[in-house]
Amino acid sequence: MITNTKLRLCPKLTDNHLDLRNSSLKMRVRLAVQVLQESLLWLNDWKLKVQTGEVHQDKFLSDNTAEGLRVTLNSTIDITKYLIKEFNFSYVLTGKITQDNLEKFFGTIRLAAGANDHPGTPTFLQLYKLLSVYSLLKPPKFGNCTIDQQHEVTPLITISDIKQTFGNTVNLSALDDLKKKKSMVLLKMATGSF
């Protein structure tokens, strides 16, 4: 930031707000929250100028974009304050806060639903159970996990269980056994005793 001039573009913004290399200051969360709050005030002021006619509507964001920006700024401010107050965080890396995994999960559910890309609650629950069991039966081909050689891993449900159940005819007792195994797997996953 240029500080040797009298006129500054952002007079309330100092080097301490932006320069994180200053080891004596580290990253002051208060300064980061202050920048976010000022961004929110600027957005609200801009919208007010559009409403009063000082700025033409074409020069403002669309309503959806402005509302999305407000929600994002408010959420970031709230989660930062919460993490500092409740968990004594020294800093919050807002770039690490993402919903990509959640979007990937719902994308997988929609993909599994086939032509029904907006499944209802019963369909969603059935797909969730199906994908949960499928991930136990068929591990991913790629990943950064290694097999723990100390503990022998035995599958809870095997292919022979499925073949026995759905061979030439449906074996109802084998189907009941398979359902019990699936329920136990889901229960263990839910309780964390897996």
pLDDT tens-place string over residues 81-118: 888 889 888 878 888 888 888 888 888 888 888 888 78
Q: How confident is the model at residue 139 (pLDDT cuts 50, 70, 90)?
A: low
Reported as a single tens digit per residue, the pLDDT across 29-82 is: 666 667 777 777 887 887 788 788 887 777 677 778 888 888 888 888 888 888
Contact 36, 76 (CB under 8 A): yes
User: How many domains are there within the chain?
Assistant: 2
Quote the domain boundaries for residue 71: 15-96
Do 23 and 76 share a domain, yes or no?
Answer: yes
What pLDDT is attached to residue 178? Answer: 75
Do 83 and 43 share a domain, yes or no?
Answer: yes
Do 30 and 82 share a domain, yes or no?
Answer: yes
| Degrees, nearest 5: CA angle 134-165-138 | 20
User: 76 or 18, which is more confident?
Assistant: 76
Reported as a single tens digit per residue, the pLDDT across 151-169 is: 566 666 677 777 776 665 6
Identity of residue 151: H
